[in-house]
Structure 1
C-alpha cells in the first residue's frame, strides 16, 4: 500500500475526535505469551506489568455462558478436545487451561467473562471484549455478551469496548447493549469494510498493524473513529504506529513495552 500524505488547507479546521477514555497500550489476552492466554492468571500478570487495559476473547458454552477462549476448539489451550461451544459450562469449568503453557500454571481453569469483569471493575481496569463466536452463532453470541456486559458494567463511568471480526456479532451486541462502544476488527481491507463499520456505529477500527499508513489513519480519523492495532510485538512497529498517530496498540510483549 502506497503511503500518501493528505493535506489540509490553512483555513480548514480538522474536527476533533470524540472523547476516548481508554489507555493507549492493551495487553493481549491478559499477558500475551507470559501466562496461559485468557485466564485470570494472565490478567493478573499483565496488571503486575503495569497494564490497565486488557483484550480477551469471549464465546458461549452450549448452555449460554460467556467464557474466555480464543479458538473454536479446545485442544490448543486446554486438556479437552472438540468444540468448546458444544459443551455445557459445568464441563468446561473442569478443564485445565494452564498446563499446556507451563507446570506453574497447571490446573488454571477457564474463566467466565463475568469473573474477568469482576476483576476489572474491582481494580479500575479497562477491557476490550473481542466477541469470538463459535461458527454459526455469531449474532446470538453478540446478544448474550452484550446483555451480560450491560448488566455487569451498569453504572460504571467507562464501559468495555466490544470488537469482532464478525459484523453479525457486533450487530447482536448493539441490539442488547447499544450504549457499549463497538470496533470492527479487520485483517485485510475487504470491500465495504468502512461502510460496514459505519452501519454498525463503530467508534474504532482495529487493524492488523501492517495495514496502517498515513492515508488510512487520516481516513479513519476523518470518519470520527479511532485507529487501533493488533498484535504489535516489535519496537520498530510500535514506533511506526506512534509516528502515524494511531490510538491504541495491542501487544503480547507486556515485558517489553511500558504502558505508562
Structure 2
C-alpha cells in the first residue's frame, strides 16, 4: 500500500510540474518521429535528385533540398534515430563506468579510493572536447567511436556523486545487517546500496544527456563523428556552413531539430530534479 501511495504521489507531482510535462511532450514527439521516420519521411535520406538542387522550402519540399537534390526534411527526420541512439548508448556507457567506479571508491575506500579518485579527478580536469578529440584520433572516425570517446571522458560526472552517496550509506543499519548475514561486497554494493542511489542517478542521466548529444554533434561537425551520407544533424550543420549564404535552410532546420531535442531533455531533467531530489529544487 505504501508503495502504491508513493507511486501515486510521484505521478501527481509529475503532472503538476510544468518543466517535466513540457519536456516529456517534446521528447515524446521526438521518439514518435524516430519510431515512424520511414512512414513520415517522403523520401529516403540518401535518395538524390528528388527535386532540383538547392530548392528552397516549399509545399513540396518543406525544408528544401540540398546540393545533391536530397530532401532535407527526410534527412532531418531520419536524424532523430541517430540522436536518440547516441543518447541511449552514451548514457549506458557513462553509467556503467561511473557507477562502478563510484561504488568501488565509496565502499572500499583506502588506497582503492585514492587510485580511482585520482583517475576521476584527472579525467575531470581535462577539457572534455579536447580529450574526446584525442580518443577519437586513436580509435578512428565514426559515430560509434565518437560515442565511446564522449563516454570515456564523461563518466567522472557520475562517479563523484555515487562515491559520496555510497560513503554515506555503507555504514547504515541495513548494510550492516547484510554484512552480518554474510552477503558479499558485490552483493552489498549492487543489491543494498545501488537501489538507494537510483533516484539521484535518474536525475543525473536526464541532466547529462543534452551534453552527450551536443558533444557527439560537435565531433560530427568537426568531421570526426558521423560520415557522409549519414543524416546526422551535426554533419548536416557542418555541410550546411559552406552554403549558409545561398541555402541557409541546410543548417537552419537541423539546428532547430537539435535545439528542440536538447531543450526537451533539459526541461525533463529539471522537472525530474524537482520531483526526485528535493534537496536540489530549482530556484
Q: Which has the higher strand share?
A: 1
Q: Which has the higher helix share?
A: 2
Q: Which has the higher contact order (CA 8 A, sep 6+)?
A: 2
| Greater Rg over alpha carbons, structure | 2
* Same fold, judged at TM 0.5 (above): no
TM-score (norm 1): 0.27
TM-score (norm 2): 0.25
